[in-house]
Amino acid sequence: MTELKVIECDRCGKEFKIPIDQEPYKIDLFERDEPTSYDLCEDCWASLSFWLQYWKRFDKLADKIAREETGDE
């Protein structure tokens, strides 16, 4: 039987299990010249990957939602 470790997603807070010999999905951000690493669950990693691939569509959708919220259509 594979031993598992429990990891908490740094984005959504969900706890998930992975094999003890694997690392979770990670994203490294550089803030103030120092890298910060965040562990991500599979759902958050998928969302981030989708956003990175289709960022222009997300920007257009965000603009559309903002216009609808403010009534500036």
Q: What is the pLDDT of residue 11?
A: 92
Structure tokens at 71: 């009534």
Q: Is the pLDDT of residue 73 over 70?
A: no
Mean pLDDT of the chain: 90
Averaged pLDDT for residues 15-40: 88
Q: Is the separation of the CB atoms in 14 and 43 below 8 Å?
A: yes
Write down the residue that tokens 């598992």 correspond to. Answer: 4
Structure tokens at 47: 């969302």
> The whole model's pTM is what?
0.68
Averaged pLDDT for residues 46-67: 92
Domain extent listing, the chain: 4-70
